[in-house]
Amino acid sequence: MSSDTALAAEPPTQGQDGSFTYDAFLSYSHQDGAVAAGIQKGLHRIGRRMGRLNALRVFRDSTDLAANPDLWGRVTDAMDRSRYLIVVLSPRAAVSEWVNKEVAYWLQRRGPDQLLMVVAEGHLDWDEATRRFDPDRSDAALSVLTEQGVLAAEPLHVDVSGDTPWDPQAPTFRDKVTDLAAPIHGKPKYELASEDVREQRRFRRLRRAAIAGLGVLTVIAVAAALIAVVQRQEAVQQRHEAVQQRNQAEARRLVSEVQPMLAGTHTGGSVRAYQQLLVGRRLAQTPDDGPLLTVLPEMVNLIKIAQGTDTVKSVAFSPDGHRIVSGGVDQRVRVWDAASGQQIGQPLTGHTDPVLSVAFSPDGTRIVSGGGDKTVRVWDAVTGRPVGQPLTGHTDPVFGVAFSPDGC
């Protein structure tokens, strides 16, 4: 017990059968804490069986004694509930009032039979004649251990002064801690050491098995991940193929409607037919340029319309695709035959600025136009005459016009 350390454990309680709470109590100076910690770890591990947290229950303090005024009572209570006392000796412990006090209490109450000593530093010299440690030649001996007749015989002591950093995994230090553990376990050292070796081998086998198991699980996990990746790639491929099949079917549909459009039996006209062929060509896996070449002559007529007028600002097809209406910078609205590219009738005049927007009514009998002159005008698509008066009220040019769905 250190003069500037305090208890880390809960106050021990003894069972009703009088059994001990601790197998060993560690008494040491706080300056020898590293040695005490190594001894405690060794006693916990040596002889430990699988499934148990510790092989032995060892009490060790860890903080300041002055923190609790009743600490001595708790210390003595813990010592009373311990089967063995292990004292760590050194020149520092030799001048520690508390370590000397703890050992003196133990010898008074329990005698020297369950007293074990560890030399962390310094020397011990036993005087058989006086049955004590010679105070002049033992710089690690406590004052109570130098009193004549206090010990019946030289107690067991283990010298670990050369075993820094006191790691229980180190073979030499572990062997010395086994010297301490054997009497506490109540077994010969060779028997405890043999059991410890068997348990270590068993632990290593279990650890290897666990590592192998983890390896198998890792392989299974990787395999499952690879399978998932393959399945995901297959699903992507299936979706891609489905999209291609859908696009191929849509391309066939678009191309199949082209000839009826060109023949006038299907609404849309040559421009719409050309547009559908372009879209179908893009969707098809193996584009066929034959239908596209068939429509090109029809497009020449539309080119004629554009070339035969001033700058065109807007165009629109009639609902049946047979006529085209255009509006231009020349302030006129013109109607064209979509098949031949020839103008139908005379230009529709009335706007005083460029015609910016045009549209057919749903039944194809009316044309509406919007111009830079801020007016909207309605025309008879057959006679070319204005229908009613211009619609005024806009304060800016009209860039878009449209009929209601019922044409009214």
Domains, the chain, in order of start with CATH, read 22-186 (3.40.50.10140), 206-300 (no CATH), 308-408 (2.120.10.30)
In the chain, % of residues over pLDDT 90: 45
**Alpha helix (H) residue ranges in 25-124:** 33-45, 71-80, 91-94, 97-109
**CB of 142 within 8 A of CB of 99?**
yes
Mean local confidence (pLDDT), 203-229: 85
Query: Cis omega (within 30 of 0) on the bond before 165?
Result: yes
**Single pTM value for the model:** 0.50
7 pLDDT more than 50: no
Q: How far apart are CA 320 and CA 317, in angstroms?
A: 8
- Bridge-based pairing of strands 82-89 and 333-337 is unpaired
Mean local confidence (pLDDT), 37-41: 94
Q: Is 379 strand, coil or helix? A: strand
Looking at residue 121, its pLDDT comes to 95
Looking at residue 311, its pLDDT comes to 79
**CB of 366 within 8 A of CB of 331?**
no
CA-based nearest residue to 317, from 336, 301, 297, 293? 336
pLDDT class of 16 with cuts at 50, 70, 90: very low
Looking at residue 163, its pLDDT comes to 92
Q: Which of 254-258, 263-267, 270-274, 385-389 has the lowest mean pLDDT?
A: 263-267
Task: Give the sheet arrangement for strand 355-360, strand by strand.
Answer: 355-360, 366-371, 376-380
- Identity of the residue numbered 322: H
Looking at residue 65, its pLDDT comes to 40
What is the average pLDDT score of the chain? 83
The catalytic residues are 102
